[in-house]
Structure formats: C-alpha cells, structure tokens
Amino acid sequence: MDSRISTTRLRVRGYHLDGYGHVNNARYLEFLEEGRWAFFDDRPALVQRLMGGDLAFVAVNLNIDYRAAAVANDDLEILTRLSAVGGRSAKMRQEIRRLRDDALVCDATLTFVLLDVAANQAVSIDGELRELLEPLVMEAPLA
C-alpha cells in the first residue's frame, strides 16, 4: 500500500450498535477520528510541528457517505490520506471497509484548518507547513 495512506483496524463491539443492531451513525465519527490519529501517529515530524502548542488542527467540515451497515464483530479497516492542501485549509479523504468482504462501509471528506492558538485565527499553509504537508497529498482513490 502507498506510504501516504494510513490504515488502522478495529472490531465492532456491542456498545457501537444502535437499536437496529448496526453501528450507530455517530460512532463512525469516532472511527474516522481514530483513523486520523493513526495518520498523524505515523508522521512524527508533522505531529511535532502541529502539536507544538502554537498551532491546532481544527476540523471545519466533515461530509460522510454511509454505504453499507457494519454489525457486531465486523472487523473494519480505516484508510486515511491527505487529499489536498490549499492556501488556508486542507482536506483528508477516509474510507471504512469491512475486511471480510472488502465492502465500503462509508467514506468521508474532512476539511481542516491550522489555527494559531494565540490569535485564534486560521493561518496560511505555507513555508515549513506546506513542505511537510504537500508530499503527503494523494489525489487518487484510496482503494
């Protein structure tokens, strides 16, 4: 797999389910967030720069398309990549796939900004930040 894609796996547990016996739609937000944390865990230089205290990674938009239901004991894989870097925001694409049949459970696009914590304003993505982010951009589909 391309090194610009991060993957993480999890098993659906009973507490993830709603009254209909499938994963509650809000739980997918947590699953996707787990995938984003894994993406950054895999990139310590980026984490050091972004988590140094002066900048914050802030989600400003998240669009999710639900494709198939996941149920108890399904093993899921969350694939995460950076898909675009703009002047003041960037986008991540994510997919959640069921391992037993490779079914696409959901896919999502997250837009984020980098916030100057002291000024409480989004900063331009340039210089060192752009140099760290641009090589990670992968525009092609995940799977």
pLDDT digits (tens, 9 = 90+) for 18-48: 999 999 999 999 999 999 999 999 998 887 7
Q: What letter does residue 65 receive in the DSSP assignment?
A: E
If one counts every other C-beta atom within 10 angstroms of the C-beta of residue 138, the result is: 16
Residues 6 or more apart whose CB falls under 8 angstroms from that of 107 comprise 64, 65, 67, 93, 94, 95, 96, 142
What residues pair up with 111 in beta bridges, in sequence order? Answer: 61, 91
65-110: pLDDT as tens digits = 999 999 999 999 999 999 999 999 999 999 999 999 999 999 999 9
In a domain, 143, yes or no: no
Residue 136 has pLDDT above 90, yes or no: yes
Gap between the Cα atoms of 27 and 81, Å rounded: 20
- Please give the pLDDT value at position 135: 93
Residue 53 has pLDDT above 80, yes or no: no
Q: Which residues are catalytic?
A: 18
- Please give the pLDDT value at position 47: 77
Q: Which long-range contacts (CB under 8 A, 24 or more apart) does 49-53 make?
A: 49/128, 49/129, 49/132, 50/114, 53/117
Gap between the Cα atoms of 73 and 54, Å rounded: 41
In a domain, 1, yes or no: no
* Structural domain range at position 13: 6-136
In a domain, 21, yes or no: yes
Tally of domains within the chain: 1
Domain at 59, CATH number: 3.10.129.10
- Please give the pLDDT value at position 1: 75
- Residue 35 identity: G
In a domain, 142, yes or no: no
In a domain, 141, yes or no: no
Residues 133 and 125: beta-carbon distance below 8 Å: yes
